[in-house]
Amino acid sequence: MTTTLVLDFASESHLLETLRAGDDRAFEHLVREHAPRLLCVVRRIVGNDHDAQEALQEALLSAFRHVRAFEGGSKLGTWLHRIAVNAALMHVRARDRRKAGSIEDLLPSFDEHGHFAEPVSAWTGAESAALEREETAAIVRAAIDRLPTNYRTILVLRDLEELSTEQAAKRLGISTDAAKVRLHRARQALRTLLEERFADV
């Protein structure tokens, strides 16, 4: 008589123990629990669904290979998130060996006195509420996707994934000062792309 083993993964410590034992069902459970959220994170960084699927698959394979080395110093979800972000960044680097994209046309220009050459519209307080609406969130995501990879990535890491500037710089392999400049320019460019939607006209 064969007894079917029912695994209870309510305890993360038990899940980790089962993962380290190489049980495929534990890994399937881990993927089901975390893959949808991780796919969203990776998608923001790489910029399209096809590359996001590839990068996430690479991240999950890496997690499967290295789970025995995971010491449990953080939650499994946090560990997976870190692996997924790193996989996405590596995917972007491998894909974008070409010259970094330019956003010059999206940045404000200044006259000889240091004033804005073109009027800058003031945004009303309503945009904060509007950003919470699903339709507007889709507009913002689409605008972020229009940014060149190097600017989109710093914006995602800093403003969406909420890494510190120092952490984002380390992930990208650039100096903190360079990250600050790139982030500032990315935010300016994003504002230009969203100006038509949020300007108080």
In the prediction, which pLDDT does 164 show?
92
pLDDT tens readout for residues 169-200: 988 888 999 999 999 989 988 888 888 666 64
How many angstroms separate the CA atoms of 58 and 129, rounded? 37
Express each pLDDT in 128-144 by its tens digit: 555 556 677 777 788 88
Q: Verify that 171 and 85 share a domain, yes or no.
A: no
Count, residues in the chain? 201
**Residues 111, 191: one domain?**
yes
The answer as to whether 122 is a domain residue is yes
Q: Which residues contact 174 (CB under 8 A, 6 or more apart)?
A: 182
**Domain-embedded: residue 71:** yes
117 in Cβ contact with 110 (< 8 Å): yes
Which residues have C-beta within 8 Å of that of residue 66, sequence separation ≥ 6? none
Q: Which domain holds residue 75?
A: 12-95
For residue range 76-92, what is the model confidence (pLDDT) as tens digits? 888 889 899 989 988 88
Answer yes or no: do 148 and 125 share one domain. yes
In this prediction, residue 23 carries a pLDDT of: 79
pLDDT for the residue 180:
93
pTM above 0.75, yes or no: no
